[in-house]
A and B are shown apart, each in its own frame.
Chain A
Amino acid sequence: MGDLQGAQFQATVEAVRPKPDYIGNALRAFLVGGLIALLGQGVTEYFLAAGYTTPQAGARAAVVMVFLGAILTGLGWYDRIAQFGGAGAAIPVTGFANAVVAPAMETHPEGTVMGTGSQLFTVAGPVITYAVVAGVLSALARWLVLGG
């Protein structure tokens, strides 16, 4: 039964396996990501109208959006939004909040140190790690090209 494992099997799997709906997924991601961004912009405008400078308003809007992402995760809604919106829900800062709160929620039975404390960044950890690495590399490149 060699053909259960060979190229013919791969061809059978490829023929049967449903393809993700790339175009539909992209449109849904655009919609969900766009709505989250629109909401973020609305919050930013609120803070601007309240008299904050642009950097101040942006920082405050980020805090509000992280809070919303965390709350929606806690209510068990964010994973449903993400199943619909895919990367449109994962990429905004609300998705980052979700990536931190989701492991926190289910590791609490293992305690605050070995559970939540050590597992909090199991999903978001790589983002932080490689954001730092990318920051160092881009700073290095700038230093090499522009001399500081």
Chain B
Amino acid sequence: MNILRYFFLIPLMVISCGLKAENDTLFVPSVRVGLDMSGFARQFVEPETVTGEVSVDVELQENYFAVLEAGMMAVDVKKETHRYQAGGYFFRLGADFNILGRTPENPNDLVLLSLRYGYGTMDHEAPFIVIPDPFWGNHQTALPSEKYRAHWIEAGMGLKTELFHNIFIGWSLRGRLLVASTKDPAMEPYFIGGYGKSNGNTTLMLHYHVLYRIPLR
């Protein structure tokens, strides 16, 4: 339900900003490569989870961006009674639409609506498990490595602003809906690379970006 709240914001923003053409001369086709900084930020809050992500977007037609995002994740949770490890890769493919008009002062600032398809694959295992039992005593066991795959769709919005010449910073907020995943009755993944924590079929995630723009003419 939380995600629906954010979906409702998207048409409101589209309506409020309108869709009328004004100044076509400010548009320059470009490629932008970016680094997602939220993985570094997560390290301070959740040191057991390491993620890295890069992105490429191409603006071939004004305000329409084709986007590819890809990355890796690794999880290593060590507790007194168990250890959980996971590692894998993911990619997201989709498009952004800029709803902010270009001005001569700030021709590259963007307010973006995003749609993505995402896919993640990972191996996860629990090499050390202790199940406490007050009567029989502790039982030590392990769960071997299993492959896990997930498909999801996502929608969101974000901002990008040009900090220096062709250097951008920005953030994006994404709501994700898990549409298919491997079913494992023994072990659910803790964190799905590119999707986030796997608490149910929906998740909300914030990304911070640093990007470099390469004009194509």
Q: Do A and B come from one complex?
A: no
